[in-house]
Copies of this chain bind each other. A is one copy, B any other.
């Protein structure tokens, strides 16, 4: 049986997951793969913590003692962030080792430079755990769908926000309370900004887009909107109209221009992505050969993510004699401008309840050539009443102009909430109900 020695750098949630997974399932993995995988060394700066759990593995505080260890075949970097993570991976690859990482920040923000700088275009690097935890999202797009031109990617890529939106929808909680609930259950950090503002999903959709389109994506130039402005009212209106609200990462290649963004969107309630509840992730890849393929599962957590890390380890160990798939970035992405987009839009406007206002507001839509599909205005005992407008398909630049003009009216309270509607079905035009 072929022995595979692992060096683990970072013993947090995922690192201890890898340790515990191998403890439980290593004989099963050996039976299936013929590989005898063991952890030879663990590096962490909080060694006292590690010692409480681990008694059978060499420990160190210096990552150089892992990347420089001749016994170690594969270095697993699980500390996150840019440095020293980048140095660890570069050093491991330069020393002829394979490397595995779950580091979405590093891959997204540096545009996979790790491939170029360390191993040329053929670095033996696994990064399944960087997107959607235990869901084989990278394997599917790189290998399962390798023969497909990817028409679009649409994903619920962040478990924290999906958990919050689920609780808001199912229990009618306002955002703040749903966030607290998520923090209590361990699905949100003490500082949840990175998740709730959509940056985490932005990293993940950037990685998927780079894999699908072989273009470098600058994740800092992505259009990103979080979920903090979504209210239970929006969710209730969406439901009345047959939609659910999800935070989506979207990437599409439109005539050579990359349309890539993260924002809350309304999905038809029967759309398969809509059924992803709680902390689950789901991603849809629309291939020109396969048509839509959807993956669905836990996108975070110790053991699901460890499962992805060990899947990478197995793949790299099996390929150790040959060169890994080249990873080609053939240039920088050129982006579709937001104003070139079209969809239906949901708008919530809080207005004074007096005659003539509906006429003024609908006049603004008319001025910009935006056709209104439906209006909901219910009797409410309040100074300001919610006016819900659903448009027909319209150009986003017109919507932005109309919204700006309406925001300026003095009979409006607060800003107009705008949520995009993603109507694209998965069963094809002639196949829908």
User: Which chain B residues lie closer than 8 Å to A134 at the CB level?
Assistant: 287, 289-291, 293
* Docked-complex contact B296 and A145, CB < 8 angstroms: no
Question: What is the bound-complex CA distance between A314 and B143, given in angstroms?
Answer: 8
Question: What is the bound-complex CA distance between A310 and B321, given in angstroms?
Answer: 23
Shortest A430–chain B CB gap in Å is 10
Closest CB pairs A-B (n = 6): A136-B144, A134-B290, A147-B310, A294-B296, A289-B307, A293-B297
Contact A304-B326, Cβ < 8 Å, known A140-B139, A147-B310, A275-B272 = no
* Docked-complex contact A143 and B147, CB < 8 angstroms: no
* Docked-complex contact B289 and A304, CB < 8 angstroms: yes
Q: Tell me if A295 is interfacial: C-beta within 8 Å of chain B.
A: yes
* Docked-complex contact B31 and A310, CB < 8 angstroms: no
Question: What is the bound-complex CA distance between A33 and B272, given in angstroms?
Answer: 31
User: Which chain B residues lie closer than 8 Å to A295 at the CB level?
Assistant: 293-296
Q: Tell me if A433 is interfacial: C-beta within 8 Å of chain B.
A: yes
* Docked-complex contact A143 and B148, CB < 8 angstroms: no
> Quick one: copies of this chain in the complex?
2
Residue numbers of A with Cβ under 8 A of B are 21, 24-25, 28-29, 31-34, 128, 133-136, 139-140, 142-149, 170, 214, 270-272, 274-278, 280, 287-298, 303-304, 306-308, 310-311, 314-315, 318-319, 321-322, 325-326, 328, 330, 426-427, 431, 433
* Docked-complex contact B431 and A278, CB < 8 angstroms: yes
Q: Give 6 new A-B contacts, CB below 8 A, not counting A32-B325, A146-B314.
A: A25-B147, A139-B140, A144-B311, A287-B307, A291-B304, A319-B319
* Docked-complex contact B29 and A147, CB < 8 angstroms: yes
21 CB-based A-B contacts, threshold 8 Å: A21-B289, A29-B147, A32-B328, A133-B290, A134-B293, A139-B143, A143-B143, A143-B314, A146-B310, A147-B306, A147-B307, A147-B311, A272-B272, A272-B296, A278-B431, A280-B427, A290-B298, A292-B297, A293-B295, A293-B296, A296-B296
* Docked-complex contact A311 and B146, CB < 8 angstroms: yes
User: Which chain B residues lie closer than 8 Å to A275 at the CB level?
Assistant: 270-272, 274-275
Question: What is the bound-complex CA distance between A36 and B292, given in angstroms?
Answer: 26
User: Which chain B residues lie closer than 8 Å to A288 at the CB level?
Assistant: 24-25, 303
Beta-carbon nearest neighbor of A301 in chain B: B291
User: Which chain B residues lie closer than 8 Å to A291 at the CB level?
Assistant: 134, 297-298, 304
* Docked-complex contact B319 and A303, CB < 8 angstroms: no
* Docked-complex contact B149 and A28, CB < 8 angstroms: yes
Contact of A328 among B31, B145, B311 (CB under 8 A): B31
Question: What is the bound-complex CA distance between A295 and B135, given in angstroms?
Answer: 10
* Max count, chain B CB within 10 A of own CB: residue among A24, A274, A311: A311
Shortest A45–chain B CB gap in Å is 26
User: Which chain B residues lie closer than 8 Å to A330 at the CB level?
Assistant: 31
User: Which chain B residues lie closer than 8 Å to A24 at the CB level?
Assistant: 288
Question: What is the bound-complex CA distance between A289 and B297, given in angstroms?
Answer: 11
User: Which chain B residues lie closer than 8 Å to A426 at the CB level?
Assistant: 280
Beta-carbon nearest neighbor of A328 in chain B: B31
Shortest A186–chain B CB gap in Å is 12
User: Which chain B residues lie closer than 8 Å to A270 at the CB level?
Assistant: 275
Beta-carbon nearest neighbor of A122 in chain B: B34
Beta-carbon nearest neighbor of A296 in chain B: B294
* Max count, chain B CB within 10 A of own CB: residue among A289, A426, A431: A289
Shortest A50–chain B CB gap in Å is 21
Beta-carbon nearest neighbor of A138 in chain B: B144
Question: What is the bound-complex CA distance between A427 and B297, given in angstroms?
Answer: 10
* Docked-complex contact A136 and B135, CB < 8 angstroms: no
Question: What is the bound-complex CA distance between A136 and B146, given in angstroms?
Answer: 11
User: Which chain B residues lie closer than 8 Å to A280 at the CB level?
Assistant: 426-427
* Docked-complex contact B325 and A318, CB < 8 angstroms: yes
Beta-carbon nearest neighbor of A132 in chain B: B293
* Docked-complex contact A31 and B214, CB < 8 angstroms: yes
Question: What is the bound-complex CA distance between A88 and B225, given in angstroms?
Answer: 56
